[in-house]
Structure 1
């Protein structure tokens, strides 16, 4: 079992297809197929179920992927660091973003990486905080911007800033005229919120619990676009950072109001693995993230209070 076989195995597992993996690795498909068969022969187990739609991991294949993903990433990062020594940072960086941050940051940040760091290959993954933390622990992700608090995450974390959460409702809901609502008013409304895997849900429920209030959750939506579409249809209200709905509010498709003190505030953190050093490419991307967030905040496009 060597690194080449493991890289081939991981690519096929991720893409579910030999042909797609061959395109990614720039290796002939028969050669990849041979590597997979040799690996299966050595381990004496079938790693994939082959069918007309592609290749699906068996239980043994899933176990191998879980146990080796972090190891392969670490070896790749050693290679990248050696190539970066004394020159331009290079290598692959996997960055996770929670949806509300992705909405504000992803496109601008991707452009900046392409323009200033052409030798770094950036993979941006959007998901909820719990998933991002799990992928970092498994060694499949290098960095993630997610919600605090950072206690019990067992990761290396840096606070990027804090932002207040606002109440969001459909056009004609009266939020624009109100300008401000309190947690008691929120508890009386039918709410559309993310599920418990989302850090924002935890923040909202804790705010209600401090006032001994019970929230009326009409529906859950684990897609940012689905959630805002449901609210826009007039089905219920939600709570989000204002930066995430800036465009919809400006266009009159949604209305928003601040929350009276005690406000609901989220901490934004940059998380990375605690059990291995960051690569040169990852460190460079981390610095660029901080710089880009500062620029967006300075332009008034993100109401985030930066930590100094």
Structure 2
């Protein structure tokens, strides 16, 4: 058994097709088939079973895949770890995040990371919550930074590390009657048209039971900027994280506290079966230093 066989097996399991796996690894299909055959002969079991046009993992294949992923990840991480011990960080770091984080929270961190560690190749994937879970599970991204713990419903062991929490606040036009109140209740908010985030966002999920079930929603958007345009025109009121209200210029809009303490929790999700690379650890340290408690 060798590392090449493990890589070929892992990629074939991901693709469900030897030809597609071979293309992605820039090798020939017979080369992949030969190594998989040798691997099955050594293990004395079948790792794949054909299901129509696809290859599905057998029970033995499922078990072997778990170990193969860990080994491939650790071997690929050896060079990065050695460089890290010599105070030199290199490698690739793929980060998943939502639209708000991509625009407001990560640009300064990414800029600092690239300047201080030029040998690290950083890439950002803007995605919805469900997409980020899939990207983590398929190893497209190394970590995700989001307002939601992705552990629920995941087959993998996903760990969530909170970086900071932010209370939710009301934002409304300075012309709105709610602007004259110091604190606002949900009962008062329900009297007004609501401008909110889309269902794939963490804020929406936090609010859905408390407010949204009986609310008159006139706009749903993934982007705070879009919401604020409508709010400024007094077409409705919205609830956003306090850090967004603090980081943005709000012309003609006032911020008011809710009479109920509701928070969202921003943090890092990663697969614990895969060790965090030195680059990922440094990125998390930079995030914590900038936004941590």
1:170 equivalent in alignment to 2:173: yes
- Helix, strand or coil: the match of 2:166? strand
- State the TM-score, normalized to the length of structure 1: 0.65
- Helix, strand or coil: the match of 2:219? strand
Corresponding residue for residue 280 of structure 1: 278
Corresponding residue for residue 20 of structure 1: none
1:1-308 equivalence runs, <5 A: 39=28, 74=73, 76-149=76-149, 152=152, 154-208=157-211, 214-246=214-246, 248=248, 250-260=249-259, 262-294=260-292, 306=293
- State the TM-score, normalized to the length of structure 2: 0.68
Structure 1's consecutive aligned runs of 4 or more residues displaced over 6 angstroms after TM superposition are 40-44
| Pair 247,234 (structure 1): closer, same or farther in 2 beyond 3 Å | farther
Task: Return 5+ residue gaps in structure 1 as ranges.
Answer: 10-32, 45-59, 295-305
Shift of 1:199: 1.5
Deviations, residues 79-105 of structure 1 (Å, cap 9, x unaligned):
433444433111111122333334432
Corresponding residue for residue 48 of structure 1: none
Shift of 1:267: 1.8
Deviations, residues 222-275 of structure 1 (Å, cap 9, x unaligned):
334333333334332221112213355x44243221111x22211222211122
Q: Distance in 1 between matches of 2:252 and 2:132?
A: 30
* Conservation of the 8 A alpha-carbon contact between 2:172 and 2:179: no
Task: Return 5+ residue gaps in structure 2 as ranges.
Answer: 12-22, 34-52, 57-64
- Helix, strand or coil: the match of 2:228? helix
Q: Distance in 1 between matches of 2:209 and 2:151?
A: 16
* Conservation of the 8 A alpha-carbon contact between 2:104 and 2:247: no
Deviations, residues 257-303 of structure 1 (Å, cap 9, x unaligned):
1111x222112222111221111221222222111214xxxxxxxxx
Shift of 1:204: 0.6
RMSD: 4.0
* Conservation of the 8 A alpha-carbon contact between 1:104 and 1:243: no
Deviations, residues 184-217 of structure 1 (Å, cap 9, x unaligned):
12222211222221111110112238xxx61222
Structure number with greater Rg is 2
